[in-house]
């Protein structure tokens, strides 16, 4: 079921078009990735979904109804430029934001206690935001974003500023939120996180969507017919090209490229006639490769 639907959104800024006919559907209880190079229009799209800016044309629907400012109250939004009062203490601030979002003081205190313990940041409670590092402040802001358990969460570049350990923590929490029934949209440059987290993605480049769909399907569609094969004896290239060859103590390791769209089984069959197979694996392109390929080649075509 579609939770959020963006239809043909156009946003023009003086001098350039930030979004040009962007449409996307976000199914409920999935993780949706917004990818794209810097300045592609990701943040503009997120701001439109949050009703921070209005589109020049096009519409956004939530649960099939036109999105209003009222609906935005049920969205948890983590902006790219982290917004917290620098002079305010962490605890006070988290409590204030939680209460603004409609939690009672008691609820907020309980929830905050849980999250502060989970992230092991209880000792920050009485520190001012300005005393924290960027990554630390980001943790605090992440908590304030998800504290009131919104059904739709939007994170703009959630991993920027995090060390690998904390980025991993964040990934686990995002998956946990999805398991808890939330729908999550996030924008990122971090492609490995996309493969780990996202069910669907949209790749935005130069204000247009250039690639959209299910992550697995996209990777399969971009398959180049490359395989990693380990065999007992030597292979001789017939219906395939050998890209690399390596002899190991338990056999021969090959990277092969099949010719002209052969199916896996056909290739497998021809390999089996040559040698005993230890392993056979199709190598799918990483999102990183797809990203670079799409972004660098598309403009040439148009």
Partner 1 sequence: MSKIALIIKREYTTRVMKPSFIILTFLTPVLIAGMIMVPLLLAQIKDNTEKKIVVIDQTGLYQNVFADNESFKFEFIDQSIESFRTSKDKESYDAVLFIPQDLSLNPKAATLFSEEQVGLELKSYVSGLLKDYIEERKLAELNIPDFKELVEKTKVSIDVKTVRWGKDGEEKMGSAELAVIIGMISAFVIYIFIVVYGAQVMSGVVQEKTSRIVEVIISSVKPFQLMMGKIIGIAMVGLTQFALWVILSVVLVTALTTAFGTTLDIEAYQQAQTMGVSAVNLPFDDQDGVVSELLIALQNFDFVQTGVLFVLFFLGGYLLYASLFAAVGSAVDNETDTQQFSLPLTLPIVFAIYAAIYSAENPDGPLAFWCSMIPFTSPIVMMVRLPFGVPAWQLALSLGILILSFIGSTWVAGKIYRTGILMYGKKITWKEMMKWVFYKG
Interface residues toward partner 1, by CB under 8 A:
14, 47, 50, 52-53, 72-73, 75, 77, 79, 81-88, 96-97, 99-102, 105, 141, 144-145
As given in the structure block, the two tokens for residue 48 are 């439109």
Angle at alpha carbon of residue 147, lines to 191 and 125, rounded to 5°: 100
Question: Which value, to the nearest 10 degrees, does the dihedral of the CA atoms of residues 29, 33, 34, 37 take?
Answer: 170
When the beta carbons of 88 and 268 are compared against partner 1, the nearer one is: 88
When the beta carbons of 12 and 212 are compared against partner 1, the nearer one is: 12
When the beta carbons of 134 and 246 are compared against partner 1, the nearer one is: 134
When the beta carbons of 100 and 242 are compared against partner 1, the nearer one is: 100
Phi, psi for 110 (deg, rounded to 5): -60, -50
Least distance to partner 1, CB of residue 52, Å:
5
Nearest by Cα to 23 from 52, 51, 50, 49: 49
Label residue 178 exposed, middle or buried (CB < 10 Å: 0-12, 13-18, 19+): middle
Least distance to partner 1, CB of residue 221, Å:
36
Least distance to partner 1, CB of residue 92, Å:
8
Please report, in angstroms and rounded to a whole number, the separation of the first and last CA atoms in the chain: 34
Least distance to partner 1, CB of residue 180, Å:
20
When the beta carbons of 69 and 260 are compared against partner 1, the nearer one is: 69
Least distance to partner 1, CB of residue 109, Å:
14
3-state helix, strand, coil in the chain (%, to 5): 35, 30, 30
């Amino acid at each position: 079921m579609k939770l959020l639907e963006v239809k043909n959104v156009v946003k023009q800024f003086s001098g350039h078009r930030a979004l040009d006919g962007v449409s996307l559907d976000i199914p409920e209880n999935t993780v949706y990735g917004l990818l794209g190079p810097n300045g592609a229009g990701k943040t503009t799209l997120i701001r439109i979904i949050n009703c921070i800016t209005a589109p020049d044309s096009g519409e956004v629907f939530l649960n099939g109804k036109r999105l209003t400012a009222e609906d935005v109250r049920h969205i948890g939004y983590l902006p790219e430029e982290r917004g917290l009062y620098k002079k305010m203490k962490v605890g006070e601030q988290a409590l204030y934001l939680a209460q603004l979002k409609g939690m009672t003081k008691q609820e907020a205190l309980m929830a905050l206690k849980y999250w502060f313990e989970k992230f092991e940041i209880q000792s920050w409670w009485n520190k001012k935001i300005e005393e924290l590092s960027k990554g630390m402040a980001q943790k605090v802001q992440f908590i304030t974003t998800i504290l009131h358990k919104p059904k739709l969460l939007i994170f703009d570049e959630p991993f920027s500023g995090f060390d690998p350990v904390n980025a991993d923590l964040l990934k686990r929490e995002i998956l946990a939120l999805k398991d808890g029934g939330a729908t999550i949209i996030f924008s990122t440059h971090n492609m490995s996180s996309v493969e780990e987290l996202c069910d669907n993605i949209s790749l935005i480049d130069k204000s247009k969507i250039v690639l959209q769909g299910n992550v697995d399907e996209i990777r399969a569609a971009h398959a180049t017919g490359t395989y990693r094969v380990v065999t007992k004896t030597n292979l001789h290239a017939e219906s395939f090209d050998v890209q690399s060859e390596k002899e190991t103590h338990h056999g021969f390791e090959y990277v092969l490229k099949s010719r002209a769209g052969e199916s896996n089984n056909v290739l497998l069959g021809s390999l089996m006639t040559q040698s005993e197979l230890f392993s056979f694996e199709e190598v799918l392109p990483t999102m990183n490769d797809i990203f670079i390929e799409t972004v660098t080649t598309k403009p040439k075509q148009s």
